[in-house]
């Protein structure tokens, strides 16, 4: 781990710059999955539903960049629910079983419950309903928890970076109270959801909140996951010095409550799992900066306007929307997806330092592809 400071030069905000889909190329499909050039199967699909958000988290959509002059995509540019469902059905054919809805703030997308219900009615290659999860900032969750449950949503992850009101409201930068997010988490639990909490940790921003957050959720069944601050997008002015390595957090937590590592639930899990030795529950650490997990990365991202993005740090995605709207058949779209995944070689987190030193490296902003 180096302490070298690397400044990312903010660039013009780009949506997912669209690459044409390949018209030739090998397909590596075996054992019910597509495999990329590094031997990684395609297993999970993340779908960004909107580029809008009612927060302006300083590390994601800072106010200075996402102000009233910011150009959101026109509604016609977004994939419609019909288009999303058509693609989901194709991904399920390739053995995908887990789908995460994200954004922007996914609960801002109108009629999201009907999309969830329709996806839940589909079948995986094992004949089961796909697992559908959502990452949300929690602002609309309290009032929607019941409907989301009724629609069949399986799990929710709520982002919460601080309990201290001053700190939390300064992070979301719209003055939204942490107390309301806690109410939303309680509503989600009451509706019967398994709940995880995502806490992005940034040096000098919320390190002091780690222990209070854990204290609040010990013995509740809610799994808190600490995420290393990442150089996603180009708007947040990321610097390596702002990253608090998970190893440091593990040490801090252990001093208060001894913890021990657990085995992963499945290959490719983003968080390393730990549990309190006193039986108070589980916590997780997502160490994408200091302990890259590209070797097992089996996620693909569908951007709001229908580009297939192979890595969270990609500068562009493959334009499926033109296929969808240009009369391609499901088989033609499936073949394009198969070729794209089979040629995938991305492993950005393993080469981050050399890449970020190339000051021109551009990336798709987070809200177009979700976290
Ligand atoms: N708006 C929803 C939310 O905040 O939960 C969903 C979208 S948000 C982009 C998904 C996740 O990415 C959130 O948990 C957020 O904290 C995380 N995230 C955003 N920017 C990040 C960054 N620069 N580094 C690490 N995590 C980040
Ligand atoms: Fe919005 Fe989520 Fe980004 Fe915060 S992290 S600005 S809530 S999309
Ligand atoms: Fe996957 Fe890209 Fe993250 Fe590596 S850097 S784990 S390839 S999304």
Q: Dihedral of CA 366/168/113/133: which sign?
A: positive
Is 11 within a domain?
Answer: no
Is 3 within a domain?
Answer: no
Is 362 within a domain?
Answer: yes
Helix, strand, or coil (residue 369): helix
Query: 354 alpha carbon to ligand 2 midpoint, in Å?
Result: 27
Position 16 confidence tier, pLDDT thresholds 50, 70, 90 = low
Is 317 within a domain?
Answer: yes
Q: Return the pLDDT at 7.
A: 33
Is 140 within a domain?
Answer: yes
Q: What confidence tens digit (pLDDT) does each residue in 248-283 have?
A: 999 999 999 999 999 998 888 889 999 999 999 999
Q: Which residues pair with 286 in a beta bridge?
A: 227
Q: What confidence tens digit (pLDDT) does each residue in 311-343 have?
A: 998 989 999 999 999 999 999 999 999 999 999
Q: What confidence tens digit (pLDDT) does each residue in 70-121 have?
A: 999 999 999 999 999 999 999 999 999 999 999 999 999 999 999 999 999 9
Instruction: Name every protein residue with a CB atom under 6 angstroms from any ligand 3 atom.
Output: 288, 292-294, 297, 311-313, 346-349
Q: What is the CA radius of gyration of the chain?
A: 20
Pocket test for ligand 3, best of 100, 288, 343 (most atoms within 8 A of CB): 288
Structure tokens at 26: 């090998």
Query: 57 alpha carbon to ligand 2 midpoint, in Å?
Result: 6
Q: Which candidate, 253, 199, 178, 246, places its Cα nearest to that of 59? A: 199
Is 346 within a domain?
Answer: yes
Determine the structural domain holding residue 39 and report its residue range. 20-369
Instruction: Specify the CATH number for the domain of residue 145.
Output: 3.20.20.70
Ligand sitting nearest the alpha carbon of 228: 1
Query: 103 alpha carbon to ligand 2 midpoint, in Å?
Result: 8
**Which pTM was predicted?**
0.93
* pLDDT higher than threshold 80 for residue 56: yes
DSSP per-residue letters across 243-284:
B--HHHHHHHHHHHS-EEE---SSTT-SSEEEEETTSS-EEE
Is 236 within a domain?
Answer: yes
Number of domains in the chain: 1
Is 138 within a domain?
Answer: yes
Pick the atom of ligand 3 nearest to 312's CA. Answer: 8
Ligand sitting nearest the alpha carbon of 371: 1
Q: What confidence tens digit (pLDDT) does each residue in 172-205 have?
A: 999 999 999 999 999 999 999 999 999 999 999 9
Nearest protein Cα to ligand 3, atom 4: 294
Pocket test for ligand 3, best of 268, 271, 302, 347 (most atoms within 8 A of CB): 347
Query: 367 alpha carbon to ligand 2 midpoint, in Å?
Result: 7
Q: What confidence tens digit (pLDDT) does each residue in 290-301 have?
A: 998 899 999 999
């Amino acid at each position: 781990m180096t302490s070298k400071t690397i400044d990312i030069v903010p660039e013009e905000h780009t949506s997912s710059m669209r690459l044409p889909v390949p018209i030739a190329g090998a397909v590596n499909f075996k054992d019910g999955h597509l495999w990329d050039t590094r031997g990684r199967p395609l297993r999970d699909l993340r779908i960004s539903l909107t580029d809008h958000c009612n927060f302006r988290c300083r590390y994601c959509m800072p106010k200075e960049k996402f102000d009233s002059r910011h150009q959101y995509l026109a509604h016609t540019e977004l994939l419609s629910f019909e288009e999303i469902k058509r693609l989901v059905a194709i991904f399920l054919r390739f053995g995908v079983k887990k789908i995460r809805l994200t954004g922007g703030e996914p609960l801002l997308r109108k009629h999201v419950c009907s999309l969830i219900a329709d996806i839940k009615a589909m079948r995986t290659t094992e004949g089961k309903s796909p697992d559908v999860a959502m990452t949300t900032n929690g602002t609309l969750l309290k009032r929607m928890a019941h409907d989301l449950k009724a629609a069949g949503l399986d799990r929710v992850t709520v982002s919460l970076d601080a309990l201290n009101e001053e700190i939390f409201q300064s992070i979301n930068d719209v003055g939204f109270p942490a107390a309301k997010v806690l109410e939303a988490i309680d509503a989600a639990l009451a509706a019967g959801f398994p709940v995880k909490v995502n806490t992005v940790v940034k040096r000098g921003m919320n390190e002091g909140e780690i222990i209070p957050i854990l204290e609040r959720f010990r013995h509740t069944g809610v799994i808190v996951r600490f995420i290393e601050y990442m150089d996603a997008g180009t708007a947040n002015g990321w610097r390596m010095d702002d990253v608090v390595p998970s190893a440091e957090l593990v040490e801090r937590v252990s001093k208060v409550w001894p913890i021990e590592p657990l085995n992963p639930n499945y290959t490719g899990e983003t968080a390393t799992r730990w549990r309190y030795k006193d039986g108070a529950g589980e916590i997780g650490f997502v160490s994408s900066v200091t302990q890259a997990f590209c070797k097992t990365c089996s996620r693909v991202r569908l951007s709001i306007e229908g580009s297939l993005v192979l890595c969270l740090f990609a500068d562009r995605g493959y334009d499926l929307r033109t296929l969808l709207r240009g009369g391609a058949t499901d088989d033609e779209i499936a073949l394009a997806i198969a070729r794209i995944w089979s040629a995938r070689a991305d492993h950005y987190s393993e080469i981050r330092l050399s890449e970020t030193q190339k000051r021109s490296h551009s990336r798709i902003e987070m809200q177009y592809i979700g976290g």
